[in-house]
Structure 1
C-alpha cells in the first residue's frame, strides 16, 4: 500500500441520490490521463498523407493546457462527493499516478481543482522506477506467460488476421482521411503477427491494426485538443468519422488487455490494490489512481463491462475517463456500485462543463453488488502477485 499523505479539515461523502437512506462512504477511481500531444511514432513515420500533420503546443506525450482544463472540469464534478468547503482531513484523500509526465501532471491538476487552495499531495514513484500498478508486465508483477498470452489472445480475437478483416471498413475510412490515394492504403504495416516478446514479459504485435490504431488516436486527440477542423484529420474528419476510426484504437485493447488472460495480468496489481482500499477497515475515503487507457480497459475487462461514452468508439477510453468503484452502507450491509465517468468528446473539445456517469452492471451481481461478493468476483478474475 502507498503512504497516506493528505491534509486537515472535514470531509464527508454525499448520499446516493437513488437511495436516500444509504450512505456513500468510500470512492476508488482509476482514470486515464488527460489530452496529450502524440507519442513519437504513434502515427507511424512511414504513414502516407495528403497534407501536413499539425504542430502541437507541447512536447510529445505531454499533457496540454487544453487537456488540463478538461481534467479540472472532471475534478470539479467529482467534488460533489465532498461536502463542506474545508480542506480534506489528513489521510482521507489520496492521489497516486504513474511516473509519466502526462499522468503526474493530470494528477496535479485534478488535486488542485478537487480541493482548491489545499495543496493536496500527488504521489508517484521516482522517475525511472517502474510502478507495478500501472505497468505490471514490465515490472514482472505477476507470473505472466507470454506463450499462454498469445494463445489466449488468439482464442479471444479469432486470430490477428480475423481481427484485421473485422476492421477493414474502418481501415478504409482512415485511408480516406489520410488521403494518400494509394490502392494499397496509406500505411505499410506488413502482415499481422502476434508472438511473445524476446524478454518474455510481453507480446509483440504487428500489422494493420497495430499500425492504424495509433494514427486514429492522434486524429481523435487533434479533435479533443480543439484544433481547427481544417487541421483535424487534414480537414477530412468530423466527429462521426472520428468515432468510426476510433474502433481501430479500441481493437488494440482486444489484443493487449481484453482477453481474460491479458485482463487478469494487466489489471492484477491495480485491481487488488483497489479491492484492498474498498475492503480495508481504515483507508482513504477518496482515492484517485491516474494511469493509462490500458489500465482502464484491463480493469473494465476484468469487471466484465464495456466502456461507452458519447463521441468515442466502444472500449476506446476517453482522456480523463475513469472507472469509479463506490462502497455504500446500506440496510442489508455494504455494497459496491461501478460506473464509467467521462466527458463526452465534444465537451472535451469545447471546454463545456458536461460530465456523463454511466452505471455498469457487474455480471453475476448487477448494479448493486454486496461488497463480499464483489470482492470475490473481481479477485477471481485477477492474477495474483508473484512472491518477492
Structure 2
C-alpha cells in the first residue's frame, strides 16, 4: 500500500493543476470587414455643402487604397503572431495545406482585402482566396439580395420602429452629432447636408427597406471622414475631425446600423446565412485552423447583433465598425475534453491605421445568457435561435 502513496499524492497534486490549465485553442473563425477604401459614389450625397473641396483619393470609388493594402498586410502579420501565440498555427513558414481557409464577398474590395491580408499572414505560400464569380450574389454577405429567408418588409419596419423608437426619435437622439458634423463641414449654412424628412419604407421589390432623411444622408459623410483618418490623410475633415470628433460623429454611422442590421428582425435575416456558416465551422468534427470570412460593415454589425453583443473598440463610436475590424470566435478544448467558444473583437484605431501601425486591440465579449467561455452547444443554441430560418430556393 505504501508503494502507491507517492503515485496517489502526485495524482491528487496534478488534478487541480489540470482543472485550471489553460484550454487549447483548436481553431478560429473570423468575420472581418474589408480594409481602408476610397468613398463609395454617393456616400457623400449630392448637394452636401462644405467650406472647402473634399480631398482627392488615389483610386477609383470603393476600391482598396495602396495605403489600405499596406495596412492589410501588416494586419495579416499581426494576426499570424497572435494566432501563433495561441498555438493555432506556427509563427513562421507556410501553414499546412488546408489549415487556412479564406472566403470573401464578390466585391473587388473584399477580394483585395483577403489577398493583401494573406500576403502579410503567409507571404509566398499561395493560399487561395475563395469567392463566387463576379456578378453573383453571395448569400453569406448579402442575405436579403439573395432572398435566403422569408423576409417581410412590414415586419422589418415594425421591428426597426420598436428598436429605435421611430425615425423622428432616432434623428432627435442624434441632434448633437448632426450639429457637430455641420461644424466639421463648416458650410456656413444652417444645415450642410439638407434632405427629406425621415421616412422608412419597403423597397420596391419588398425584399428590403429604404430610409430617407438626415441619418441616411449624414451616416456616409461621417464614414468618409473616418476613412480619411484611416488613410493617413494629414488633416482629416479639413483639420476639424480630431479623434474625439470622429468618435462622436461616428454615432451617425451607427444610427444607420440601428435601422439596417441591429434591429432584431433585421439582424436575424441579415445574419442568417453567415451565422449558420460560422456555427458549421465551429461545430464540424474538423476544419481549418483559421477560417476567415471577409465582408462588409453590415456583416459584422448584423452578426454582433444576432449574438446580442455591442461592438466596443478604442477610437470608434459604440457599434461602429473599424476597417479590418473582426469578430473572432475561438473554439477551445479544456483538459477534460469539453469545448467552448470565446468571442472577441479585434480592431485598430483610425490613427493607428493612418500611421500604418501594428498595434491591434482585442476586446473581450460575452454573449448574453452564457459565460465568457461559452459551451459550444450553448453558443450554437443562443445564436441559432436568433437567426431567421433559411428558405429553399425556387424550383427546389
DSSP 3-state at the match of 1:341: strand
Higher alpha-carbon Rg:
2
Cα RMSD of the aligned pairs, angstroms, is: 1.0
Of 101, 104, 110, the match for 1:97: 104
Q: 2:8 — aligned with what?
A: none
The aligned residue for residue 284 of structure 1 is 288
Alignment-derived partner of residue 360 in structure 1: 365
Higher fraction of helix: 2
User: Partners of 1:43 and 1:21 in 2: how far apart?
Assistant: 49
After superposition, the Cα gap between the structure-2 partners of 1:21 and 1:177, relative to the gap in structure 1 and judged at 3 Å, is closer
Q: CA deviation at 1:84?
A: 4.7
C-alpha contact (below 8 Å) 1:296/1:323 kept by paired residues? yes
Structure 1 residue 20, shift from structure 2 partner: 4.6
Q: CA offset at residue 308 of structure 1?
A: 1.2
Task: Write out per-residue CA displacement over residues 259-299 of structure 1, whole angstroms, 9 at most, x where no aligned residue.
Answer: 11100001110000010010011222210000000000000
CA distance in structure 2 between the aligned counterparts of 1:340 and 1:34, rounded to whole angstroms: 15
Number of the residue aligned with 2:220:
214
Q: Find the aligned partners of 2:231 and 2:182 in 1 and give their Cα distance.
A: 22
Provide the residue aligned with 1:8 in structure 2. Answer: none
What residue number does 1:378 align with?
383
| Structure 2 residue ranges without an equivalent (≥5) | 1-19, 84-88
Q: In the alignment, does 2:149 pair up with 1:148?
A: no
Look up the SS of the partner of 2:126 in the other structure. Answer: coil
Residue in structure 1 matched with residue 13 of structure 2 by the alignment: none
Q: What does residue range 103-114 of structure 1 map to in structure 2 within 5 Å?
A: 103-114=110-121
Question: Are residue 317 (structure 1) and residue 317 (structure 2) matched?
Answer: no
Q: Name 2:76's counterpart in structure 1.
A: 75
State the Cα distance separating 1:331 from its structure 2 match: 3.0
- Which segment drifts farther, 329-338 or 143-152? 329-338
Q: Say which SS state the counterpart of residue 25 (structure 1) adopts.
A: strand
Aligned position for 1:170: 177
Q: Which residue of 2 aligns with 1:59?
A: 60
Match of residue 46 from structure 1: 47
Q: Scaled by the length of structure 1, what TM-score is found?
A: 0.93
5 Å-filtered alignment, 1:135-284, equals 135-183=142-190, 185-229=191-235, 232-284=236-288
| Contact 2:80-2:91 within 8 A present in 1 as well | no
Distance 1:60 1:345 in 2: 20
1:8-47 alignment, distance < 5 Å:
20-47=21-48
User: Where does residue 10 of structure 1 map in the other structure?
Assistant: none
The TM-score, its normalising length taken from structure 2, stands at 0.91
How far is the alpha carbon of 1:134 from its aligned partner? 0.2
**Alpha-carbon separation, structure 2, partners of 1:279 and 1:197:** 36
Distance apart, 1:33 and its partner CA: 0.3
Which portions of structure 1, spanning 4 or more consecutive aligned residues, are displaced by more than 3 angstroms? Answer: none
Structure 1: unaligned runs, 5 residues or longer: 1-18
SS in 1 for 2:130: coil
Checking the alignment, whether the CA contact within 8 Å between 2:144 and 2:151 is kept in structure 1 is yes
Tell me if structure 2 keeps the 8 A contact 1:94–1:284: yes
Q: 1:21, CA displacement in angstroms?
A: 3.7
Checking the alignment, whether the CA contact within 8 Å between 2:267 and 2:305 is kept in structure 1 is yes
- 1: CA distance between counterparts of 2:21 and 2:28? 17
Residues 232 and 351, structure 2, Cα contact 8 Å, conserved in 1: no
**Which of 316, 324, 330 is matched with 1:326 structurally?**
330
Partner SS, residue 358 of structure 1:
strand
Q: 1:75 to 1:385 in 2, by over 3 A?
A: same
Looking at structure 2, the residues matched to 178 and 203 of structure 1 have their Cα atoms a distance apart, in angstroms, of: 29
- Please give the alpha-carbon distance, in whole angstroms, between the structure 2 residues aligned to 1:55 and 1:103: 22
Residues paired across the two proteins, number: 367
- Residue 366 of structure 1 and its aligned partner are, at CA, apart by 2.0
Deviation digits for residues 3-62 of structure 1, max 9, x if unmatched? xxxxxxxxxxxxxxxx75411001000000000000000010110111001100011000
